[in-house]
Chains A and B, each alone.
Chain A
Amino acid sequence: EPEVTQTPSHQVTQMGQEVILRCVPISNHLYFYWYRQILGQKVEFLVSFYNNEISEKSEIFDDQFSVERPDGSNFTLKIRSTKLEDSAMYFCASTRGGITGELFFGEGSRLTVL
């Protein structure tokens, strides 16, 4: 069964460092998303991506965040200069789209900023 895969599963970084989280969405999917879950809290929308550009982004997704689909298969989230409060589980998701599209989530990448 096709699935969304994310790497790394866990990354520890120093505050101020750049981090890139990688996702491989399901191959025939058209819409891609990043969500974030701070430990013990709800899952929050960060950004959606369609047709090689950002469709929507939340208030959380400020200038230190960027997304890219560099090669037609990977979908990356870059945090330019990490802060302590960026420590969270980051989930990638994809869907074929349309109003009936089910969102498929990856297993998440846990980011710990020290």
Chain B
Amino acid sequence: AQKVTQAQTEISVVEKEDVTLDCVYETRDTTYYLFWYKQPPSGELVFLIRRNSFDEQNEISGRYSWNFQKSTSSFNFTITASQVVDSAVYFCALSETLSSGSARQLTFGSGTQLTVLP
């Protein structure tokens, strides 16, 4: 069965520090997708990135970067020069093809609460 582990429950950093959020996953699928979502205090889920299992290139988007390593089943997320507005819960998720083949579901990790202090 698929599983996503975010071992860091809470992280606190001071503004402008870099911070890395860890994500380790388990799946039997050869084709799968990995996601990161941000959940600010207001509660909505904000999509950050999707990465498929065949693309191990690291990705950078502004202050955000992602490191996908299939060999260690990890998909870590780094925020460079953190800001107070980055404070949120961050969820890593894994998407696999459902048994019906017609839809996919996301399995979420338990989330990492990031607090950026001014």
Contact = CB atoms under 8 A, between A and B. Distances in A.
Tell whether A pairs with B: yes
Interface of A is mostly: strand
The 3 closest A-B pairs by CB, nearest first: A105-B45, A107-B44, A43-B108
A42 B98 CA distance: 20
Contacts of B31: 99
B64 interface: no
A58 to B, nearest CB: 8
A101 interface: yes
A82 B106 CA distance: 25
Residue in B33, B43, B45, B93 with the greatest tally of chain A CB atoms within 10 Å: B45
A33 B104 CA distance: 9
A28 interface: no
Q: How large is the interface on A (under 10, 10 to 19, 20 to 34, 35 or more residues)?
A: 20 to 34
Interface of A: 31, 33, 35, 41-45, 48, 50-51, 55-56, 89, 91, 95, 97, 99-108, 110
B44 A105 contact: yes
15 contacts: A33-B103, A41-B110, A43-B45, A45-B105, A48-B98, A48-B105, A55-B98, A55-B100, A55-B102, A56-B100, A97-B102, A97-B103, A99-B33, A103-B104, A106-B44
Contact of B111 (A33, A42, A106): A42
Which of A35, A44, A55 gathers most chain B CB within 10 Å?
A55
Given A56-B98, A56-B100, A103 B106 contact: yes
B99 interface: yes
